[in-house]
Amino acid sequence: MTDQLDLNQLARNIKQWGQDLGFQQVGICDTDLSLEEPRLQAWLDKQYHGEMAWMARYGMLRARPHELLPGTLRVISVRMNYLPAEASFARTLNNPELGYISRYALGRDYHKLLRQRLKKLGDKIQMYCSEYSEGSDTHFRPFVDSAPIMERSLAVKAGLGWVGKHSLVLNRDAGSWFFLGELLIDLPLPVDKPLPEQCGRCVACMTICPTKAIVAPYVIDARRCISYLTIELQGAIPEEFRSLMGNRIYGCDDCQLICPWNRFSPITDEKAFNPRAQLHTPKLLDLFAWDEKTFLQMTEGSAIRRIGHLRWLRNISVALGNAAYQSSVVLALEKRRGLDPMLDEHIQWAIDQQLARRSAQAVKVQSAQTSRLIRTVEKGLPRDA
């Protein structure tokens, strides 16, 4: 089939079809990630993956996409912007009575949306190839952060950007506010060239991290990362990190917000990623009042639903413990006792923090790092201030 098929033209078509489907960029690379295997193993050996046992369970399979779909020759890597027009970074982080939710989770869950678009792209490729050879059978498989695959390494190989010191992919024109997706395919398409790393000596992301989770350039200790603590961690959040979490109740964007490249990030055109009203600058006490039925209703079709109601309350309890003292906060916490022993422990911690703050007549609840971050956002992202 490939003898009759102009692969260079097909590659150009694929990139155009991808843009027609809403992807801002499409790149192509081979499947060789052998250079990543020793780095991945060293990271796993240090237990930096925490409770994410699937990472160790799949091991080096993550660096071998050709084993996920036998016969795979190329990976088509795509990115889609998700930064909403009214992200309200500073407004939310600056008010300890509000809950900060990582901006990727404010709208519709991206997994299904990107996977559907990738499936359409694969179908388009299949149809195009079948026109050149009757009965031809091109195989593909879409991935969107849902299988053991090193999507960032593949995105870099495909020329979509470079990895910043915070381990996220950066792009000159888009910063890091974008989702990644992959289409594994058994066609020997021409590949794109990787871009050089362009962070230089900048370590802003490393110094701003509230919990010092970026333990070395390009290395994250997930066990310290607020995104891990609020999303992946099943049990109790270690006390040493609770006061550092501030009002971040689902994920954390600090390392992206401080990054100079994100001053150039475009606003998404995808309406599905616009913030839901109930999640946009929400009051902590309002969120804490949700029962499980309300939680499921309010998070339907959202990435937030995956953590469940119990961990949602756990995260908010910590944020309430970090808020300025209010008798209404203590009362709300008291009323939540008895649902679960793990949650009760977080509630008691939050009550203790509230009462200690009242006794000390303390009014400052914002860290110097968060204050610095807010000033940076207000200066670099005036549309958000």
Q: Give 103-132 as a DSSP string.
A: GGGSSS-HHHHHHHHHHHHHHHHHHHHHTT
Residue 259 labeled ligand binder: yes
Among candidate residues 123, 129, 102, 121, the one with its CA nearest the CA of residue 182: 121
Is 169 one of the annotated binding-site residues? Answer: yes
Q: 364 pLDDT exceeds 70?
A: no
Can you tell me the mean pLDDT for 120-144? Answer: 89
The confidence score (pLDDT) of residue 381 equals 59
351 pLDDT above the threshold of 70: yes
pLDDT tens column, 269-320: 999 999 999 999 999 999 999 999 999 999 999 999 999 999 999 999 999 9
Q: Which residue has the tokens 């195989």?
A: 139
List beta partners, residue 170: 162
Query: Tell me, what's the pLDDT at 15?
Result: 99
What per-residue confidence (pLDDT) applies to 134? 64
Q: In terms of pLDDT, which residue wins out, 351 or 264? A: 351
Q: What percent of the chain has pLDDT over 70?
A: 95
CA distance 258 to 204: 6
Task: Give the closest residue to 58 by CA, choosing from 150, 183, 184.
Answer: 150
Per-residue confidence (pLDDT) for residue 135, from 0 to 100: 58
pLDDT one-digit tens code per residue, 233-253: 999 999 999 999 999 999 999
Query: Which residues are identified as catalytic?
Result: 145
Radius of gyration of the chain (CA): 22
Q: Which pLDDT score, from 0 to 100, does residue 382 have?
A: 45
* Range name among 81-90, 212-221, 358-367 with the lowest pLDDT average: 358-367
φ, ψ at 300 (rounded to 5°): -60, 130
Percent helix, percent strand, percent coil in the chain, to nearest 5: 50, 10, 40
Tens of pLDDT along 365-377?
Answer: 567 778 888 888 7
Q: Is the pTM of this model over 0.85?
A: yes
Higher pLDDT, 169 or 362: 169
pLDDT grade, residue 132 (50/70/90)? confident
Q: Does the pLDDT value for residue 90 go beyond 60?
A: yes
Predicted local confidence at residue 131, as pLDDT = 85
User: How many CB atoms within 10 Å of residue 362?
Assistant: 11
Confidence band for 385, pLDDT divided at 50, 70 and 90: very low
Question: Was 215 annotated as part of a binding site?
Answer: no
29 known member of a binding site: no
Query: In the predicted model, is pLDDT for residue 256 greater than 60?
Result: yes
Structure confidence at residue 148 as a pLDDT band (50, 70, 90)? confident
